[in-house]
Amino acid sequence: AQSVAQPEDQVNVAEGNPLTVKCTYSVSGNPYLFWYVQYPNRGLQFLLKYITGDNLVKGSYGFEAEFNKSQTSFHLKKPSALVSDSALYFCAVRDAASGGYNKLIFGAGTRLAVHP
Chain positions contacting another protein, by CB under 8 A:
32, 34, 36, 38, 41-46, 49, 51, 88, 90, 94, 98-104, 106, 108-109
Rounded CA Rg of the chain = 14
Q: How far is the CB of 80 from another protein (least distance, A)?
A: 26
Q: How far is the CB of 99 from another protein (least distance, A)?
A: 8
Cα(50)–Cα(52) distance, rounded to whole angstroms?
Answer: 6
User: Which residue, among 35, 49, 50, has the nearest Cα to 85 in the 3D structure?
Assistant: 35
Residue 79 pairs with which residues in a beta bridge? none
Q: How far is the CB of 93 from another protein (least distance, A)?
A: 11
